[in-house]
Amino acid sequence: MAISNLQKARAAYQPKLPKALQGPVKAVEGAATQSVGNQAEIKELFPNTYGMPVITFEAGEPVELPPFNVGIILSGGQAPGGHNVISGLFDGVKSLNPANKLYGFILGPGGLVDHNYMEITADIMDKYRNTGGFDIIGSGRTKLEEVDQFEKGIQILRELNIKALVIIGGDDSNTNACVLAEYYAAKKYGVQVIGCPKTIDGDLKNEQIETSFGFDTACKTYSELIGNIQRDCNSARKYWHFIKVMGRSASHIALECALQCQPNICLISEEVEAKAMSLDDVVTYIANAVAKRAEEGNNFGTVVIPEGIIEFIPAIKKLIAELNDVLALPEAQSINSGNEQIEFVKRHLSKENLNVFKSLPSDVAAQLALDRDPHGNVQVSLIETEKLLSRMVADKLAIWKHQDKYVGKFGTQHHFFGYEGRCAAPSNYDADYCYSLGYNASRLIANGKTGYMSIIKNTTAPAAEWIAGGVPITMMMNLEKRNGKMKPVIRKALVELDGAPFKYFAAHRDEWAKETAYVYPGPIQYWGPTEVCDQPTKTLLLEKAK
Ligand code: FBP
**Across 522-531, average pLDDT:** 96
Q: How far is ligand 1, taken at its centre, from the CA of residue 248, in Å? A: 7
Residue 2 in this model has a pLDDT that exceeds 90: no
Reported confidence tier of residue 63, pLDDT bands at 50, 70, 90: confident
Reported confidence tier of residue 181, pLDDT bands at 50, 70, 90: very high
Residue 169 in this model has a pLDDT that exceeds 60: yes
Contact residues for 454 (Cβ-Cβ < 8 A; gap 6+): 166, 194, 195, 196, 197, 437, 438, 440, 441, 444, 470
CB 357 within 8 A of CB 123: no
Closest ligand 1 atom, CA of 198?
4
Residue 194 in this model has a pLDDT that exceeds 60: yes
Residue 193 in this model has a pLDDT that exceeds 70: yes
Distances in Å between the Cα of 91 and the Cα atoms of 248, 456, 460 are 33, 17, 24
Residues of the chain by 3-state class (helix, strand, coil), percent to 5: 45, 15, 40
Query: How are beta strands 25-29 and 452-457 bridged, if at all?
Result: unpaired
Determine phi and psi for 206, rounding to 5 degrees.
Answer: -170, -160
Catalytic residue among 201, 203, 216, 432: 201
Top mutation candidate among 142, 201, 212, 419 for ligand 1, by most atoms within 8 Å of CB = 201
Q: What is the pLDDT of residues 510-522, one digit of tens each?
A: 999 999 999 999 9
Q: How far is ligand 1, taken at its centre, from the CA of residue 127, in Å? A: 26
Q: How far is ligand 1, taken at its centre, from the CA of residue 239, in Å? A: 29
Show the ligand 1 pocket: residues with CB < 6 angstroms.
Answer: 76-77, 79, 170, 199-201, 246-248, 307, 380-381, 418, 422
Q: How far is ligand 1, taken at its centre, from the CA of residue 381, in Å? A: 8
* pTM of the full structure: 0.94
Q: What is the pLDDT of residues 274-311, one digit of tens each?
A: 999 998 999 999 999 999 999 999 999 999 999 999 88
Closest CA to ligand 1's atom 18: 77
Query: Which H or E run contains 359?
Result: helix 351-359
Closest ligand 1 atom, CA of 377?
12
Task: Give me the DSSP letters along 364-416.
Answer: HHHHHHS---TTS---GGGS-HHHHHHHHHHHHHHHHHHTT-------EEEEE
Determine what percent of the chain is predicted with pLDDT higher than 90: 84
**For position 375, what pLDDT does the model report?**
67
Closest CA to ligand 1's atom 6: 77
Name which of 266, 269, 311 is nearest 286 in CA terms.
266
Note if 404 is an active site residue.
Answer: no
Q: How far is ligand 1, taken at its centre, from the CA of residue 254, in Å? A: 15
Reported confidence tier of residue 320, pLDDT bands at 50, 70, 90: confident
**Across 142-163, average pLDDT:** 96
What is the pLDDT of the chain when averaged over all its residues? 94
Burial status of residue 417 (CB atoms within 10 A of its CB: 0-12, 13-18, 19 or more)? buried
